[in-house]
Structure 1
Amino acid sequence: MNLPLNTSANPADPIANARYNMIEQQIRPWNVLDPQVLDLLAVVRREDFVPAAYRSMAFMDIEVPLAGEPEQALRDGRCMLAPRLEARMLQDLQVRPTDRVLEIGAGSGYMAALLGHCAQSVTTLEIDPTLADMARQNLQNAGLANVSVRVADGAQDPLVEGPFDVIVLSGSVAELPSALLGQLRDGGRLGAIVGHDPVMRFTIVRRTGDRYESTAPWDTTAPRLQHFPEPSGFSF
C-alpha cells in the first residue's frame, strides 16, 4: 500500500480539516498508530461513502445510518461503524498485499475500500440489495477494481469464494460464528465484535493448522449483524 500522505490541517478546506481532526482527535487516541493505516484514512474519501442526507456526519465519532428511518437503520445494522472502530479493526488484522479478504456487512462500501487498498482481493457480502448497489457504485467510483460486492446473508448463505486469509465482520455478533472460522486458511485471521450490550469485545481468532487461538484486545459496542445466532443466555 503506497499512498500519498496528506494529513495536515487546512483551514481553507473544511473537508480536509474535518478529516484531519477525525484522524488526530478520534483515531490516534484509540491507539491506531500504524502509519500505513493513517495514510490510508487520509486519502480514502470517507465522505464519498456517506449518503448525501448525512454527509455532515461523515467524520463524526458515531455510526452513520445508510437507508430508511435513522433509528431503525441503526437498530438493523444498516449503518457505517464509527471511524475509530474501522481504523482499529483494520490495524489489528494486519492485512497484507497477498491476502484474500471476506467482509460480512458491506454497508456503503467504505470498510471494503480500506481493505481493498491493503489486500489482493476483497469479497464483501451485503444482505440488503439496496445497500449492495450503493456499495458497488461507491467502490466503482473510488476505482477499487479488486473488490466485489455480493448480495448474500453472511450468516446463512454458502461461501463459494473461500477459504480466506482475513474475515472481517462489520457489525457485532453474540458469539463467534463457527461456520466462518471454517473458512479461514492456515494462518488466517477473523475479526469480530462479540458479546452483548453494554460491553462487547473485538475478538481476533487466528488459525494455525487445526488450532484456533483468540485474543480480545479492546472493548466497544456495535449494532448487530442480521441473522447470526442470538443465544438466550438462560440454562436449565
Structure 2
Amino acid sequence: MSSLYHPTVARLTYRALLGRRRALMLAALPVLLIAISVAVRAMTGADDSTADGILGGFALATMVPLIGVIAGTGAISPEIDDGSVVYLLAKPVKRPTIIFTKLLVAIAVTVAFSAVPTFLSGLILNGDSQRIATAYTAAAAVASVAYSAIFLLLGTVTRHAVVAGLVYALVWESVFGNLVAGARTLSVQQWSLSVAQRIADGGVVTSDVGLPAAVVLLTVVTCAATWYAGRKLRSLTLAGEE
C-alpha cells in the first residue's frame, strides 16, 4: 500500500478539493438533505417508508453521484486543464501511485460528504428503525468508491469531465437508473442498493441486482476505471515527453 500512496500528492489533492469554493459545493447537498429530513420529521413524525424514500430517492440517487462528480473530477481534472499536472508528472512519482493516491482522497471526501450525512439523515427520519439508516449509509459508502473511480477516469479522458459527469449522474443514474428496467442492472445505484437490501430489515429496501453480481460489478468497474485512468495518465506523460 505504501508504494501506491504518496502523502504529498494526497495533501495537494485534499487542498484542491477542500478549498473554499469546492468545499461549499460539496457541503450544499448534505446540508439540504439534513434540512429536508428535519422538516419531514417535524411534519410527519418517524416513518420507515418516508425514510426509505428520502434516503433512496434523494441521498443515494442524487446526492452521492453529484458529490462523486465534484470529488472525482476535482481530484485531477483542474490540474490537467490548467497544465499544472506537468509539474506533478515531472516528479519521481510513479503514475499508478498518483492515480491511486488521488482515488483514495476522492473516496475519502465523497464518503465524508455523502455517507455521513446519509446516516445522520436516517437517524433524524426514523432513528435507524429496521436499520434503514445503516443500510443506506453502507450503500452510500460503497457507491462512493465506484463513483470516485468513474469520475476520476472522466477527469483524465476529457476536458469536459464535469459536464460528462453531471450527464451521467443526473441522466443515467437518477433517471434511467430509476425508471428504465434494463438500465437498472447497469447502475451503480442499484448495485449499492443490493448492499442496503442485505443490511436492512423487513424488506423495505429493494434492488434489481443480486448481491453477488453487484459485488462483482462494483469491483470490476472500480478496478477497470482506476487502471484505465492510470494508463491515460501515462499516455499524457509520454505525449509531453515527445
TM-score, length of structure 2 as denominator length? 0.29
Name the structure with the higher helix share: 2
Higher relative contact order (CA 8 A, sep 6+): 2
Radius of gyration: which is bigger? 2
